[in-house]
Amino acid sequence: MFINCLVIVNAAARGGGIYNDESSPGFENCTIASNLVHDDGGAGVNTGRGLYNRSMSAPRILNSVIWNYDYGSGPYVAVVEDVDSACEASYSLIRLQSGVYPGEGNLNIDPLFAGADDYRMRETLMLDAGDPETAAEICALLRNRESVVNTPDLVRPDDCVVDPGYHY
């Protein structure tokens, strides 16, 4: 299980951020962004700049961001799966050419990162868009505090509501 991880600025032939082969890792409150693949398409082929899943891989993604801005050639797809793999995602921001990645609470909107090398989110629709059950667990842990600030440089009281991404 990967929790609160930041996977950025990587390059590979496939799965620029993460390449799963016969594996089913969990990702919770992670940001996978600004990754590049060298084998980036042509004739409808895409090799997953964020996450590439093959050979019966079944990763689970919760409260996470998988995002790249357009660069390179070929269509942008954040998550690629072969026929034997199935990724389960919920309450996450996953970049697609169009539509929304299947799963409860997922969105496909610009996360408006705080800066070029700062992958915290500024005020966007994704703030407070995490899994409500996760929020309840966090509030139970922090009930003795008056408020929680998860992005001190951006100073925003959080009231125990989970944001997708590594910074929570």
The per-residue pLDDT for range 42-84, each reduced to its tens digit, is 444 456 678 888 899 999 999 999 987 665 555 566 788 888 8
Highest mean pLDDT among 5-19, 59-73, 133-147: 5-19
pLDDT at 6: 94
For residues 13 and 159, the model is more confident at: 13
On the question of pLDDT at 150 being above 70, the answer is: no
pLDDT at 34: 87
Please state whether the predicted TM-score (pTM) of the whole model is above 0.85: no
pLDDT at 156: 45
Task: Say what percent of the chain tops pLDDT 90.
Answer: 25
- Pairing status of strand 2-3 against strand 93-94: unpaired
Neighbours of 108 (CB within 10 A): 16
